[in-house]
A and B are shown apart, each in its own frame.
Chain A
């Protein structure tokens, strides 16, 4: 039982390049989330999904897109990477609404934009 798995673990991009971060969960959770973690800023929600085929914006969605074509996968895309997107990205999932349920996190993707 792997829980929440994120790939890749590390990536260095040049400004303007694109990439996709993959999150996979094997807990049959309905809800999935993408956060970014920056020093002193805590965890900020980028986008989230309340079920297969649905997505919604969080508090810092600009510059990112997401897709949830399968229940177990949640993809985060950067179409044109910018240095301000250098961060650690975490995916999380929860069985039901995340507002009062435990969220299970992956181990993160460390992304540097040069």
Chain B
């Protein structure tokens, strides 16, 4: 019940296209859903996060869509650029808890 399932494992998108990565969870107590971006040779870095009181959060070209009833959330990258090529991790956490649960990661490649 503590798992977060992420798909796809890898994704190739043409420059200018929309990249979509999906995550699903079981534990309805989760109330914090961040996405992390990791470039080769670097550690993950927080990209954007959402809490379940809203269905969507947008920051620039990055949008999180959240579906509480389906227990799913997704990351959309609009106008994808080669510089967006990275591994993306979704995660879920609970306020007051001590740790996050991470998805398996998605390797995104944006072809020029």
Residue contact B9 to A106, C-beta cutoff 8 Å? no
The complex places the Cα of A105 from the Cα of B100 at a distance, in Å, of 13
Bits for A60-88, please: 1 = Cβ < 8 Å to B, else 0: 00000000000000000000000000000
Interface residues of B in 9-24 (CB under 8 A from A): 9
Residue contact A99 to B95, C-beta cutoff 8 Å? yes
Interface size of B by Cβ–Cβ distance < 8 Å?
27
Q: Return A53 CB to nearest CB of chain B, in Å.
A: 16
Further contacts, 16 of them, CB under 8 A, given A97-B96, A105-B36: A40-B9, A40-B105, A42-B104, A43-B89, A43-B102, A48-B99, A50-B98, A98-B97, A99-B32, A99-B94, A100-B32, A100-B51, A100-B93, A104-B46, A105-B44, A105-B45
Residues of B bordering A, CB below 8 Å? 6, 9, 31-32, 34, 36, 41-46, 49, 51, 89, 93-100, 102-105
Residues of A bordering B, CB below 8 Å? 4, 31, 33, 35, 40-45, 48, 50, 56, 58, 90, 92, 97-100, 102-108
